[in-house]
Amino acid sequence: MDSEYRNKQAAIVGGGPAGLMAAEVLGLGGAAVTVYDAMPTMGRKLLMAGRGGLNLTHSEPLESFLARYGAAHERLAPLIRAFPPAALVAWAEGLGQPTFVGSSGRVFPRAMKASPLLRAWLARLAGCGVAFRPRHRWQGWTGDGALLFRTPAGDITARPDVTVLALGGASWPRLGADGGWAAVLRALGAPVTPLRPANCGYAVGWSDLFRDRFAGQPLKNVALACDGATSRGDAVVTAYGIEGGALYALGPAPREAVARDGSAVLHVDLRPDMTAARLAERLARPRRGQSLSNFLRKAAALSPVEVNLMREASGVGLPAEAAALAAAVKDVALILTGTQPLARAISTAGGLGLDGLDDDLMLRALPGVYAAGEMLDWEAPTGGYLLQACFATGRAAGEAALRRLAGA
């Protein structure tokens, strides 16, 4: 874009993945870009995600990938197709961060952390003239339409030609995203669905004995089912209940069932690769004086936490007959009584309604104002889907804002 667009001002509110991607598009396009963030430094939540290796995206076929976004699939699909996983990988490698595909199909930078990528990214942005304004907490707009920020030195205003809001959800609020934007936008007529926890743990009423002995123990390669949703993977017993990737992959089903009915039944198959009939054959073998726990360990490779999970779920002694015992292994029914708080969730469900945005992610109620990232009303499981959609929507919002500056 011509240098004349340096006279066009773009404000990015939120210095996370979506906001920084919008800033990159606008900055490289020639606009004068300022990124405002409430925290002392940019990318705090990205750095937190990097503690687990920074799962950037996933390598599964694109159609399967897109289906992970559930109800938001139709709106997000064209945006992700325009910036798919392959493009995200190329972008990361362009920042000097080679990637690899893990055994689960997840894609990570070889550095297995976020800080090298974030440093290179911020240097690229600074090189194209992007300015950063940390410790600027957005308060909305003044009566005459200026952006209003609260800073340690007092309130300031800005009057950009375009604005991209990338304010995040409300999980991990100590990293900067507290959901305070929802009331501001709702008051201006934008549709906002209540924010709820996603990719979160669930409460289970463990006995004191089970909790004290097994909190922190993994459940490896289990199959889960809840309210019509199914998944495979690993989970973890916690002091409050259960969490982990297999649970997150169930999507909103457990949360919605708990909200609707007050509780939900989580069915756990401890041996999903073995049929009930085959398992019953093994469990019909003579015990020869072995305790039930030792017998189950040898005959079905069940760990102590798995055996005691079966006991915890049954509320009574486990059956002795082989077929009934096999059925107990194949269906451990746990009662989920609630979610972990939103502040403890990995991500957020709900947010700015997609029907309040046009195809360019511009708010229908606020011309020239775009929105991107986790503040939009979509959700997805962990596995690279969260960051991919943040990057893709940030890029789409930046491109649309740039077109507006060009008068297209």
Burial 204-215 (b: 16+ CB within 10 A, else e): bebeeebbeebe
CB 7 within 8 A of CB 384: no
The radius of gyration of the chain from alpha carbons, rounded to an integer in Å, stands at 24
Could you say which of 285, 315, 339 is where a domain stops? 339
Q: DSSP readout, 332-361?
A: EEEEEEEEPPGGGSSEEEEEE-GGGB-TTS
Up-side HSE of residue 163: CA atoms within 13 Å toward CB?
Answer: 20
Residues 22 and 63 in one domain: yes
Amino acid identity, residue 229?
A: A
Q: Looking up tokens 């997840």, which residue turns up?
A: 106
Same domain, 326 and 283: yes
End-of-domain residue from the set 339, 369, 393: 339
Neighbouring residues of 95: CB distance < 8 A, sequence distance ≥ 6: 117, 120, 121, 124
Same domain membership, residue 58 and residue 115: yes
Residues 6+ apart with CB under 8 A from 229: 250, 251, 253, 254
- In whole angstroms, what is the distance from residue 262 CA to residue 240 CA? 17
| Cβ pair 106, 245 in contact under 8 A | no
Q: What is the mean pLDDT of each run of 10 residues along the chain (408 residues)?
A: 70 98 98 98 93 93 97 97 98 98 96 96 98 98 97 98 98 93 97 97 97 98 98 97 97 97 98 97 93 94 97 90 97 98 96 98 97 98 97 98 90
Contact of 141 with 98, CB cutoff 8 Å: no
Cβ-defined contacts of 321-324 (< 8 Å, 24+): 322/280, 322/281, 322/283, 322/284, 323/276, 323/280
359 and 379 belong to one structural domain: yes
Q: Do residues 190 and 55 both lie within one domain?
A: yes
Do 253 and 173 belong to one domain? no
- Determine the pLDDT at residue 408: 54
Domain final position from 282, 307, 339: 339
Q: What is the biggest distance separating any 2 CA atoms in the chain, rounded to whole angstroms?
A: 86
Strands 131-133 and 32-36: parallel
pTM above 0.85, yes or no: yes
- Give the count of alpha carbons within 13 A of 344, CB side only: 9
Do 46 and 149 lie in one domain? The reply is yes
Contact 335, 354 (CB under 8 A): no
Q: How many CB atoms lie within 10 A of CB 93?
A: 13
16 shares its domain with 148: yes
| Domain total of the chain | 2
Q: Check whether residue 193 and residue 240 sit in a common domain.
A: no
CATH no. for residue 25?
Answer: 3.50.50.60
List pLDDT tens digits, range 208-236.
999 999 999 999 999 999 999 999 999 99
276-300 pLDDT tens trace: 999 999 999 998 889 999 999 999 9
The two tokens of residue 22 are 């919008």
Q: State the CB neighbour count (10 A cutoff) for residue 253.
A: 18
Would you say 181 and 16 are in contact if contact means Cβ atoms under 8 Å apart?
A: no
Tokens 């595909």 found at: 101
Q: Which of helix, strand or coil describes residue 144?
A: coil
147 SS3 class: strand
Domain co-membership, 392 together with 334: no
Q: For residue 1, what pLDDT is reported? A: 43
Pairwise CA distance, residues 388 & 106, whole Å: 12
Q: Are residues 239 and 327 in the same domain?
A: yes
My answer on whether 288 and 229 are in the same domain is: yes
Q: Is the CB of residue 157 less than 8 Å from the CB of residue 6?
A: no
Domain span at residue 357 reads 3-197+344-406
